[in-house]
Structure 1
Amino acid sequence: MKIFKYLWISVLLASTSCSDDYFDVNGSETAPTTTSLAPQYRIQGAIENTTGTAQYRGMREVLGIVQYGSQNVADYYSETWSSFLTTGRYFLWQNAYVYALPNTADLIVLGEAYDSPNFVAVGKILRAYILGMTTDQYGDIVIGDTYDGKSSMNITPKFVTQEEAYKTILQLLDEAILHLDEESAIGLNQEGGDVLYNGNQENWKKFAYSLKARYLNHLSKKTSGEMAYNPDAIIEACNNAIDSNELNAQKNYGGGEAENDNQPFSANGYGSSRMDFFSDFFVKLLKNPLNLTIPTQDPRLEIIVPEAVNGGYQGVVIGRGLAGESPDDYSLGNGGFYTSASSPTYMITYSEVKFISAEAKFRKGDKAGAYADFKEGVRADLEKLMVPADQISDYMTMLDMEVGEENLGLSHIFVQKYIANVLNPETWVDMRRMDYSDAIYHGLKRPENVNLDIFPNEDDWIQAMMYEYNEEDRNYENMPDNNPYVRLTTPLWWNTAE
């Protein structure tokens, strides 16, 4: 079913005579927005729409770019950057603007109406998160003309540049941090809706600082002006950010009968068809993450990747599919640590914060500090995956022997961050910032059967996503150039060196 942005919301807001169950967004991640409920009944729906609709869809189509998972058939469009991907049949835009952002807008409005600034803060944090994912996939986006919970709909909204979007994102996070210090008439978890932090304001602040560090870190190619890369600001944000695995921002699933109670990329999830197998690149990387002459297998391999029916761990080459081979020879994409029914969706984790800090310190020239953060990021991820203590100790010893402070490079940081951020769209940001370098991500190659019409050269990689066709049909006068030869190949603002 096609649901059209803005128009759908207008109809929805005129339909308040529907049943209470239909509008119970605290119990459903796909229920629509409404301002008829107090904020404590809206927070869970806002969180679940952020992860279960926006983040999931933001990851689904880029699986073949970041190469975590692979299809069982050759020439699948999202793996070869063709077909629907070149005609705007890609729906993060819809999921962000129809489902996710309206819930954050209502949470802000309701927080203000009920003298509860903590809900305003959560609305702004989630809004910053969604806008960040959206601009990082498209570039220029709509912000000021989106549904705001107060104004009438605008079906021809204006776009802002990605630079302006980033300023708004950082402003939202700064404002949210201040709101979380204010007194609220209603507690964040009064009705059990705060499924991230159970009403703990300090933990929400750490989440906000973590996101601030992430978005500031994206500016690594910017060297001048108001938005220049500032490692000290990144490090400061990291120092106030998530500081343990217990505070990881994650949406948990129960693995129950309801489809939306299952991890989207699990066998029973609504995105399972995109995760048929783990990829050849990812499996090989886990078999030798430090790129050693004598390969040393990562202890996370057997936790993340299921063993093939016929034994061993083998991934499918992106774009090739099974090519007539038996699926029993390959590792299924469903059933590992990140792809089981009750696997969480991770928004941002302690390990990512430490890798962000490590990168900032490395770029600043503080190799000792960078290596300490790098090691802590690795340790945090090993502990998150519940690797046995003796294996963690052995792995950390190996890092000291094979890497060490003097030999630490960006490749070490980014490979470990890639392993720690499985199924997080943040990985695509990193790969583009690193220019898809196989010197950073050893063994990285373009998919087989890639669309040579738009990407004729070996060093041509996809840089952004097409705006959706329904936006182009309705709002072409305001929308940036959506020619696939331009949209898919033009680096985003933060990825353009100054």
Structure 2
Amino acid sequence: MNLRKNNQFFYLMRASWRVCILGFFLVFWTGCDNGFEELNIDPNNPTKVPSAYLLSSAQQNLIKEIFGMANTSGKDVMGMRYIQMWSSTLYTEEDRYVDIESDFSTIYKGGLTDLYELIRLNTDPNTAVDAALSGPNQNQIAVARIMRAWTFHTLTDIWGDIPYFQAVQGLDFPTPVYDPQADIYADLIAELDAATAEMSLEAGKIQGDIIYDGDMASWKRFAQSLKLRIGMRMSKVDPALAEKTVTEALASGVFTSNEQGASFQYLTAQPNYSPWYYSYYVGTPTLAVANTLIDQLLALEDPRISKYAKIPDNGGQYTGIPYGVSAAVAGSFGNKNVSFPSLEVLSADAQRSLMSYSEVLFIEAEAAARGWITADAATLYNDAIAASMRYWGVDEEDIAPYLAKSEVTFNEANYAKSIGEQKWLAFYMQGVQAWAEWRRLDYPQLLPAPDAANGRGIPRRRGYPLEEINLNRENYAQAIARQGADLLETRIWWDLE
């Protein structure tokens, strides 16, 4: 895998030391008054938090919530299970589409709150000067807006209508309304354009950025690549707006190499190592690679199979756990007889992709096939597959023979099938995006879980959190009246038949 190292540890430690030093001086200064006021100061909660620390905290927490392990917080795990990349060897409820409690409050209260506060500190004249110690105000604001757009786009593609315009406004809107996904999409595009316009490449880097080490040119490319993704996601529901958005993004500049992709790099030392490493090597692993994915990789002799999965402990060939069966059936196979995720996936310093160069090329290939841009769709499609393989560290000599296979060759007459099937393979470890593109393109053609709850089909969305139903009932009711029943089968705005 192509791993871009950065200064994550440096920034986190520097931010932490600033907080500690600031707490010390707050105690020291108050101690110079009457001698007892320092008892009212909590050195672990200083009144001023460096904005660099807020950015690092937001990025860490959002990555944890999107790519984490828990059923309620691991949004990407859910996507990989719905899209039949992984399946459980023990707890198969989610593989069988049983309603499981979901949650988005930790994202609103955690990472998003940090981003809103970061924007406020850099906007308010009373705090902007201090905030600028972490880098140019406009660049900190731009990065926060881009991260916020990435987060909200992930959330709305999971649930559909969500709190957006009134979200994270504190006591002003304690029970925020749910906004239509169409309105959210329109504002996300506007936000990304505004962030791109306000940032200054000449003003310098910002501190606390774990993803791009404060490099604004990289953030500009990420903003427009994300706009590209959002644009193509609307291809069915609003083709004209989709084309406009896609062509604008391409004209503004998107990723042109694997190295430019947006990713989060874990470190080898606790507490900054990957949660997957901890879960599999310290805890008890229960998520194996599903037979749906393994069988397709084997059928195509796809060289990525060794990067995605490992041979079962008992030897033999790659063997996927049967997808969507009862816990009793899944458990009968035994962990030593099925393929679990690879060492690359489970390493302590694994990388998680927010958006890849390969995805950009797949979108460009589809734009060319649709006649939106003047380019050769087949070439872009092949480049997208090759970029995915290089990202995962596949040997160069194995790429061309794979592309030459008749089952892989681009079919212009049915570009959705070609792109959908290969995009699914390339989206390994990006479960939410794989699930979203399956819903949009209807490829690959997946069969529902054989032991699906109540005969359900593959979910089209996630059910709203119980906390929202209980505490924000009026706005919840308005959302389902507009969007449809709060069921896994209900299609969201862009997911047309």
Q: Which residue of 1 aligns with 2:90?
A: 73
CA gap of 1:365–1:140, structure 2 versus 1, over 3 A, is: closer
Tell me the TM-score normalized by structure 2.
0.80
Q: Which residue of 1 aligns with 2:337?
A: 329
Q: Which amino acid aligns with 1:137?
A: I
Q: Does the aligned pair in 2 maintain the 1:147–1:153 contact within 8 Å? A: no
Q: Does the aligned pair in 2 maintain the 1:355–1:373 contact within 8 Å? A: yes
Determine the C-alpha separation between the residues in 2 that align with 1:281 and 1:405: 23
Determine the C-alpha separation between the residues in 1 that align with 2:454 and 2:487: 15
CA gap of 1:20–1:232, structure 2 versus 1, over 3 A, is: closer
Q: Which amino acid aligns with 2:60?
A: E
CA gap of 1:373–1:41, structure 2 versus 1, over 3 A, is: same
* Paired-residue identity, %: 23
SS of 2:110's equivalent? Answer: helix
Determine the C-alpha separation between the residues in 2 that align with 1:230 and 1:146: 26
1:481 aligns with 2:480: yes
Match among 152, 158, 167 for residue 171 of structure 2 = 152
Determine the C-alpha separation between the residues in 2 that align with 1:230 and 1:379: 26
Q: Does the aligned pair in 2 maintain the 1:463–1:492 contact within 8 Å? A: yes
Structure 2 matches for 1:273-312, cutoff 5 A? 276-288=287-299, 296-309=300-313, 310-312=315-317
Determine the C-alpha separation between the residues in 1 that align with 2:320 and 2:109: 36
Determine the C-alpha separation between the residues in 2 that align with 1:33 and 1:167: 38
Q: Which amino acid aligns with 1:280?
A: N
Q: Which residue of 2 aligns with 1:136?
A: 157
Instruction: List per-residue Cα deviations over 1:473-492 (Å, max 9, x = no partner).
Output: 11101112399964322110
1:242 aligns with 2:255: yes
1:198 aligns with 2:213: yes
SS of 2:340's equivalent? Answer: coil
Deviation at 1:369, TM superposition (A): 1.8
Match among 218, 222, 226 for residue 207 of structure 1 = 222
Q: Does the aligned pair in 1 maintain the 2:424–2:438 contact within 8 Å? A: no
CA gap of 1:388–1:487, structure 2 versus 1, over 3 A, is: same
Q: Does the aligned pair in 2 maintain the 1:100–1:130 contact within 8 Å? A: no
CA gap of 1:367–1:265, structure 2 versus 1, over 3 A, is: farther
Q: Which has the larger radius of gyration?
A: 2
Match among 320, 324, 341 for residue 319 of structure 1 = 324
Q: Does the aligned pair in 2 maintain the 1:50–1:126 contact within 8 Å? A: no
Q: Which residue of 2 aligns with 1:43?
A: 55
What are the ranges of 5 or more consecutive residues in structure 2 without an aligned counterpart? Answer: 1-17, 24-43, 69-73
CA gap of 1:22–1:427, structure 2 versus 1, over 3 A, is: farther
Structure 2 matches for 1:148-187, cutoff 5 A? 148=169, 152=171, 154-181=173-200, 184=203, 187=205
Deviation at 1:324, TM superposition (A): 1.3
SS of 2:480's equivalent? Answer: coil
Match among 463, 468, 482 for residue 465 of structure 2 = 468
Q: Which residue of 2 aligns with 1:252?
A: 265
Q: Which residue of 2 aligns with 1:54?
A: 66
SS of 1:346's equivalent? Answer: strand
SS of 2:151's equivalent? Answer: helix
Q: Which residue of 1 aligns with 2:206?
A: 188
Q: Which amino acid aligns with 2:464?
A: Y
Q: Which amino acid aligns with 2:157?
A: D
Q: Which amino acid aligns with 1:447?
A: A
Deviation at 1:393, TM superposition (A): 3.2
CA gap of 1:182–1:393, structure 2 versus 1, over 3 A, is: closer
Deviation at 1:323, TM superposition (A): 4.5
Deviation at 1:301, TM superposition (A): 0.5
Q: Which residue of 2 aligns with 1:94?
A: 105
Q: Does the aligned pair in 1 maintain the 2:420–2:444 contact within 8 Å? A: yes
Determine the C-alpha separation between the residues in 2 that align with 1:143 and 1:419: 32
Deviation at 1:81, TM superposition (A): 1.5
Number of aligned residue pairs: give it. 436
Tell me the TM-score normalized by structure 1.
0.80
CA gap of 1:81–1:367, structure 2 versus 1, over 3 A, is: farther
Q: Which amino acid aligns with 2:334?
A: S
Determine the C-alpha separation between the residues in 2 that align with 1:376 and 1:231: 21
1:409 aligns with 2:380: no
Determine the C-alpha separation between the residues in 2 that align with 1:270 and 1:137: 29
Q: Which amino acid aligns with 1:79?
A: D
CA gap of 1:430–1:257, structure 2 versus 1, over 3 A, is: same
1:118 aligns with 2:168: no
Q: Which residue of 2 aligns with 1:13?
A: none
Q: Which amino acid aligns with 1:78?
A: E
Deviation at 1:97, TM superposition (A): 0.9
Determine the C-alpha separation between the residues in 2 that align with 1:408 and 1:271: 46
CA gap of 1:177–1:275, structure 2 versus 1, over 3 A, is: farther
Q: Does the aligned pair in 2 maintain the 1:222–1:494 contact within 8 Å? A: yes
Determine the C-alpha separation between the residues in 1 that align with 2:97 and 2:317: 30
CA gap of 1:165–1:361, structure 2 versus 1, over 3 A, is: same
Instruction: List per-residue Cα deviations over 1:373-427 (Å, max 9, x = no partner).
Output: 111111111111111121123333447x961575763222122211222121111
Q: Which amino acid aligns with 1:77?
A: E
Match among 402, 427, 441 for residue 444 of structure 2 = 441
Instruction: List per-residue Cα deviations over 1:256-282 (Å, max 9, x = no partner).
Output: 232xx2323335479976862100011
Determine the C-alpha separation between the residues in 2 that align with 1:23 and 1:342: 31
Q: Which residue of 2 aligns with 1:493?
A: 493
Determine the C-alpha separation between the residues in 1 that align with 2:383 and 2:45: 41
Q: Does the aligned pair in 1 maintain the 2:89–2:334 contact within 8 Å? A: no
Q: Which residue of 1 aligns with 2:273?
A: 262
Q: What is the CA RMSD across the aligned residues, in angstroms?
A: 3.1
Deviation at 1:365, TM superposition (A): 7.3
Q: Which amino acid aligns with 2:174?
A: I
Deviation at 1:303, TM superposition (A): 1.6
Q: Does the aligned pair in 2 maintain the 1:117–1:183 contact within 8 Å? A: no
CA gap of 1:230–1:63, structure 2 versus 1, over 3 A, is: closer
CA gap of 1:131–1:155, structure 2 versus 1, over 3 A, is: same
Determine the C-alpha separation between the residues in 2 that align with 1:398 and 1:67: 24
Q: Which amino acid aligns with 1:324?
A: S
Q: Which residue of 2 aligns with 1:451?
A: 453
Deviation at 1:445, TM superposition (A): 1.5
CA gap of 1:21–1:467, structure 2 versus 1, over 3 A, is: farther
Bigger share in helix? 2
Q: Which residue of 2 aligns with 1:64?
A: 81
Match among 372, 375, 384 for residue 382 of structure 2 = 375
Larger deviation, residues 138-147 vs 404-413: 404-413
